[in-house]
């Protein structure tokens, strides 16, 4: 038998998560992809973001006085019991326009993985990781550096985010596809070069929860609008009847497989996805 061709996926976790946690949460998706592409050798790489979050950075974190549990206090003797949470960047609450603190460090970490583990065929991200996935796909597109130069000259009064030097040194081809679960666009003029002049050319499947209260729909639609063509009419926007998590029900796994197949083979297979009960939803991240 001829050796199976590789299909390598870069997996980017959400804010407060880690690579191992996202691995656990996306197990059903990767298993489904693996079964759907028997002629490919599937490998999924799960880096952990470089920014270790303090408990105060974690939404909903409330220390329990006198407790040494994972949700417990901040005493140095209990450091090991604090939740291991990471982010690709943090958002400044005072900057206007909005500022993503540490974004270049997050992108540098991704560039390191692209160099050491690549080349990758596609990227899959959740929440903040989905926002990163769109930015990474954009940065790997030809002539994206020109967009950064363009917007820097267009808005001299705005401190533009410069094209990361770590990506300018990469010898990595453009990605064939991206899957963004609960993704969103980075706001403000500072980050326009990721999304405009030109719009994102890499095919992106947007999977969104109709009950998501963490990422506002308007932010997700801003990312959809930043993609070339008409993603909605092209079947690249999928809604699931749940909240802020990666759906593991068959229809949404099938949608991911169909999209990847279209990107790899150039033909979307028509057909009705097998319906399953969508009331048994995964726990939110």
Q: In angstroms, rounded to a whole number, what is the distance separating the alpha carbons of residues 157 and 163? A: 18
The token duo for 91 is 């958002």
**Among the options 212, 220, 240, 248, which is catalytic?**
212
**Among the options 26, 85, 127, 182, which is catalytic?**
127
Helix ranges, the chain (H): 19-25, 27-36, 103-117, 128-139, 144-154, 165-168, 217-225, 250-265
Please give the backbone phi and psi of residue 267, each rounded to the nearest 5 degrees, phi first: -150, 115
**Residues 127 and 15 sit within 8 Å (Cβ to Cβ):** yes
**Among the options 182, 240, 244, 248, which is catalytic?**
244
Cα angle 220-100-146, degrees, rounded to a multiple of 5: 80
- The string of DSSP letters for 66-116 reads T--STT----GGGGGGS---EES-EE-SS-SS--EETHHHHHHHHHHHHHH
* Residue 182 among the catalytic residues: no
* Residue 212 among the catalytic residues: yes
Query: Which residues carry out catalysis?
Result: 127, 212, 244
């Amino acid at each position: 038998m001829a050796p199976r061709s590789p299909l390598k996926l870069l997996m980017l976790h959400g804010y407060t998560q880690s690579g191992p946690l996202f691995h656990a949460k996306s197990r059903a998706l990767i298993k489904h992809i693996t079964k759907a592409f028997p002629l490919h050798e599937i490998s999924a790489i799960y880096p952990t973001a470089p920014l270790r979050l303090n408990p105060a950075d974690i939404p909903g974190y409330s220390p329990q006085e006198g407790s040494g549990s994972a949700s417990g206090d901040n005493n140095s003797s209990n450091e090991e019991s604090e939740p291991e949470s990471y982010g690709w960047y943090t958002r400044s609450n005072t900057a206007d326009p909005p500022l993503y603190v540490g974004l270049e460090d997050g992108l540098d970490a991704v560039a390191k993985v692209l160099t050491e583990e690549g080349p990758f065929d596609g990227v899959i991200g959740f929440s903040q990781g989905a926002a990163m996935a769109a930015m990474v796909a954009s940065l790997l597109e030809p002539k994206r550096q020109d967009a950064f130069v363009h917007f820097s000259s267009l808005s001299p009064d705005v401190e533009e985010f410069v094209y990361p030097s770590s990506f300018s040194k990469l010898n990595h081809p453009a990605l064939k596809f991206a899957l963004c679960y609960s993704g969103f666009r980075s706001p403000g003029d500072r980050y326009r070069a990721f999304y405009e002049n030109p719009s994102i050319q890499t095919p992106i499947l947007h999977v969104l929860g109709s009950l998501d209260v963490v990422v506002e729909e308007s932010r997700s639609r801003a990312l959809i609008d930043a993609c070339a063509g008409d993603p909605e009419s092209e079947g690249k926007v999928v809604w699931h009847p749940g909240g802020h998590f990666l759906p593991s029900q068959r229809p949404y796994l099938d949608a991911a497989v169909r999209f990847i197949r279209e990107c790899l083979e150039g033909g979307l297979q028509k057909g009705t996805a097998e319906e399953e009960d969508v009331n048994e939803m995964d726990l939110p991240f």
